[in-house]
Structure 1
Amino acid sequence: MSRDAIPVTILCGSLGAGKTTLLNHLLREAGERDIAVLVNDMGEVNVDADLVSGNTDLAVDGGVTELSNGCICCELQDDLETAVVRLASDRDFDQLVVEASGISEPRPVARLFTTGSRAAARYDVASIVAVVDARQFHDAFGEAGVATRRGDGEGTRPLSDLLVEDVEAADLVLLNKTDLVAPDELDAVEEMVRALRPDAEIRRTEHSRIDPETLLRARYDPGAVEAAGWKRALDEDGGGHDHDHAHGDHAHPEAVYGVASFTYRRRRPFHPERFSTLLADLPSSVVRAKGTCWIATGADVAHTMHQAGPSVRVEATGPWIASLPEFEQDAYRRNRSDLDWDGEWGDRRVELVFIGREMDEEGLIAALDDCLLTDAEMGADWGAFASEFPTEAGEERVVVDP
């Protein structure tokens, strides 16, 4: 962390998880530390900012409210970068806390402070904190698998997507509202969170009560995506291997409550119709799945599959390196000595990670194998297969949108 930079704590979590309660607790217990708080709500009326600043009558122009303990609350109504740079120029404070709205992803906020922007010149990220409603998380990913949505209009997204993205980005996870779940449910939630983000510090809280020093401590890892559970599972066996056997690759954490993960790798493409049918009916025991797909669409492009609870999306990410002219392949391979390359198929492959609770691993692997092209289909015209998967880089198909 830069010596003169202002540390930033980014606070994320679904609507109702307890972020505003946490902010009010933090400001009450801040002591002599001056904290600036940027509150970004999803509606025209910033309810969270009103709740956070409601304990003072001292208002300042420009949407900024000075709190009774010297802290500052600013409604984030304009560009985030402009707001944080202006705040650092106009005010003296010890730490900034940015509360993302309940439908925002934390990583884009963190990137603002780490990628050479005007804000990055004034601030350093100290921590990304995810507040998780333990009851809500268990209901979304536990045995019931209840799917709800968050947002308004076209901005709605499955809650499961948001919960997973928050946890995978966080280096501190607060399992909040622990008084609303049974002890075994809470243990199961913690095990699922640890599978999604193995390196995160996890604290259990009621009413978002936590020591400010613990909350604000610097622990940010700019390579957080590398530490996500799905990425860790891909890398655990060293990667770069062709495993074409019945059981895939196993990466099981210590699972008291049945939470485990496994990696599925093949050097044969999926039939688009059979794979689409499987994705539309993944078992509810799968909490998270992500990875690279080789799909026989007739277009030589790689796809990435993202699944979180009942939500499933597939995105076209660009051409396989093996489909490029030979001189481009050679240049790329010289710069990527770790590239998993097959003598026949190049980098074309299926490489998927599944994280879940009490999954039927053998059954799921068999179902995935059934989606692969048969020997006869390998010699057919792949472009003749019916497919709804995108073929242009950046295009996405929502397979299941609960």
Structure 2
Amino acid sequence: MTAADTPLVLVTGLRAADSARVASALLDRPGTVLIHHDVTRLGEGVVVRTLRRRRAGVVVEETTAVELAHGCVSCTLRLDLLPLLRELGRRRDVTRIALHLDPALEPEHLCWAIANVVLDDEPEGAPEVAGDFVDVTGVLAVIDGATWLDDVTGGDDLADRALAATPDDDRSLAQVALGQVAFADAVLLAGGPLDAWTSARLHAVLDRLVAGVPRAQTAVGPERLLAAIPRDSRRGRLSTAFDPLLPGEPPLGEDVGVGLVRYSAGRPFHPGRLHEALDVLLEGVVCSRGRLWLASQHDRAVWLESAGQGLRVGDAGPWLATLPDHPDAWRDVAPQRRVAAALRWDARYGDRHTELVVLSHRQPAVAVIAALEAALLTDEELAAGPDDWRTLPDPFGTWHEDPCEASTPVDDRTGATTEPDREERSR
């Protein structure tokens, strides 16, 4: 962050009323401007934007109906929100910007746009992005402690809860709800007191999903949570497919039936058997994520992530073993990835490997591991070599629709999937 950057706080959550209360509390700090885009009419090409700030002890509100040529989330960001962030970031009387996100707006997508989308009316020869003027200092996720775990382990879509941005928005509730929390720098719990069992399971999941991330009841207030965010928190930093799969040193033991299953393998998966085995990740599992070595796609890593009863698989880029021995080819490889690859380097296969982490709340670890082990190449198949592996029938390579459903790409912000080479499936 430079001296010219204006601090930006994002407040996200499925329940708009709860996140709105948290966001409104941020107005108590002088110089804060609160922005909210209501996208419930996005399908009609209209977004309602509200700006609020406190003047002389009174909250002043300005509401504008923004008409868009194309009713989509990307247009909302590119044509209105991102230019607005630049405008407010330039103003000396604005000392902080807070964004109260509509449930349909994902914080990671927004942070990608802030850092990467070039503003349309840039000065000649000087491309600008909103990130040149604002700096994400915290993402706050607000969850309903009584319902969140059911939401992230169920099979509902956003449309089932009247939260979809547009009629063709087929994102799952679990995908969005998990993404909000997984990307957060702090978590606030709303709702009334929980029974002991529900509370224990909720905290066991959060301990493992966002280890090291501060959390408290909403009554504590957002300012105290922002102050408690660790210095090394992500603060809008985008994840990649080769980031550590267990950040924050989460507990590895099981608690009230909740536990992390870590799986690794030094030989590739048979594509057909793996496709069948993945059903084990769609029942009794909160989420899973990891890198796969698929025999039929020998030179490229495959990224997998699941949320509740939905799963997606996509291209994560080349293995380091395939890169030419030239400095330019290695320039963009993160040092952390180089070290991890060196520690597991195989004389024949290089850094190719499988590493998967599964957060389970009902699925036994032995069932997950057994299903994955059965999908690996046998000794005979392994001995046949990469040329034969590439001829194996590959459901992931064709990105078929039955029983999988094709998804509409939003962007390639995470580096975890290369759109649109992605498959989604659900129960």
TM-score range normalised by the length of the shorter chain = 0.7 to 0.9
Equivalence for 2:376: 372
For residues 185 and 323 of structure 2, what CA distance do their matches in structure 1 show? 38
The residue type paired with residue 266 of structure 1 is A
Equivalence for 1:57: none
Report matched runs for 1:12-161 at 5 Å.
12-16=12-16, 18-27=18-27, 30=28, 33-44=30-41, 64=51, 69-70=58-59, 78-89=79-90, 92-111=93-112, 117-141=128-152, 145-150=153-158, 151=164, 152-161=166-175
Instruction: State whether residues 323 and 330 of structure 2, in contact with CA within 8 Å, keep that contact through their aligned partners in structure 1.
Output: no
1:161 deviates by 1.0
1:345 matched to 2:356: no
Instruction: State whether residues 13 and 142 of structure 2, in contact with CA within 8 Å, keep that contact through their aligned partners in structure 1.
Output: yes
The residue type paired with residue 160 of structure 1 is A
Render the CA deviation track for 1:45-80: whole Å, top value 9, x for unaligned. Answer: 79xx98xxxxxxxxxxx9656666255556685332
Report matched runs for 1:301-380 at 5 Å.
301-325=300-324, 336-339=338-341, 340-380=344-384
The residue type paired with residue 156 of structure 2 is T
For residues 329 and 70 of structure 1, what CA distance do their matches in structure 2 show? 54
Instruction: State whether residues 36 and 50 of structure 2, in contact with CA within 8 Å, keep that contact through their aligned partners in structure 1.
Output: no
Instruction: State whether residues 302 and 317 of structure 1, in contact with CA within 8 Å, keep that contact through their aligned partners in structure 2.
Output: yes
Render the CA deviation track for 1:162-189: whole Å, top value 9, x for unaligned. Answer: 122111111110121144x423202311
1:222 matched to 2:234: yes
Secondary structure at the aligned position of 1:18 is classed as helix
**Which of 385, 391, 414 is the equivalent residue of 1:384?**
391
Answer with 216-225 or 182-191: which moved more: 216-225
Instruction: State whether residues 13 and 130 of structure 1, in contact with CA within 8 Å, keep that contact through their aligned partners in structure 2.
Output: yes
The residue type paired with residue 99 of structure 1 is H
Secondary structure at the aligned position of 1:343 is classed as coil
For residues 302 and 232 of structure 1, what CA distance do their matches in structure 2 show? 15
The residue type paired with residue 83 of structure 2 is T
Q: CA RMSD in A?
A: 3.6
Secondary structure at the aligned position of 1:154 is classed as coil
1:18 deviates by 1.6
Instruction: State whether residues 189 and 215 of structure 2, in contact with CA within 8 Å, keep that contact through their aligned partners in structure 1.
Output: yes
For residues 4 and 328 of structure 1, what CA distance do their matches in structure 2 show? 35
The residue type paired with residue 370 of structure 1 is A
Give the TM-score normalised by structure 1: 0.77
CA 1:166 to 1:17, structure 2 compared with 1: closer, same or farther past 3 Å?
A: farther
Give the TM-score normalised by structure 2: 0.73
Render the CA deviation track for 1:162-221: whole Å, top value 9, x for unaligned. Answer: 122111111110121144x4232023112211211102111123xxx4435325547373
For residues 349 and 200 of structure 2, what CA distance do their matches in structure 1 show? 44
Instruction: State whether residues 33 and 52 of structure 2, in contact with CA within 8 Å, keep that contact through their aligned partners in structure 1.
Output: no
Equivalence for 2:422: 397
**Which of 150, 172, 175 is the equivalent residue of 2:189?**
175
Secondary structure at the aligned position of 2:262 is classed as strand
For residues 17 and 158 of structure 1, what CA distance do their matches in structure 2 show? 20
Count of aligned positions? 364
Equivalence for 1:204: 217
Secondary structure at the aligned position of 2:146 is classed as helix
The residue type paired with residue 369 of structure 2 is I
For residues 246 and 105 of structure 2, what CA distance do their matches in structure 1 show? 26
Secondary structure at the aligned position of 1:280 is classed as helix
1:184 matched to 2:197: yes
The residue type paired with residue 155 of structure 1 is D
For residues 138 and 101 of structure 2, what CA distance do their matches in structure 1 show? 13
For residues 311 and 281 of structure 2, what CA distance do their matches in structure 1 show? 9
For residues 5 and 304 of structure 1, what CA distance do their matches in structure 2 show? 34
Instruction: State whether residues 252 and 262 of structure 1, in contact with CA within 8 Å, keep that contact through their aligned partners in structure 2.
Output: no
Secondary structure at the aligned position of 2:395 is classed as coil
For residues 330 and 133 of structure 2, what CA distance do their matches in structure 1 show? 38
1:252 deviates by 4.2
For residues 310 and 147 of structure 1, what CA distance do their matches in structure 2 show? 5
Instruction: State whether residues 316 and 393 of structure 1, in contact with CA within 8 Å, keep that contact through their aligned partners in structure 2.
Output: yes
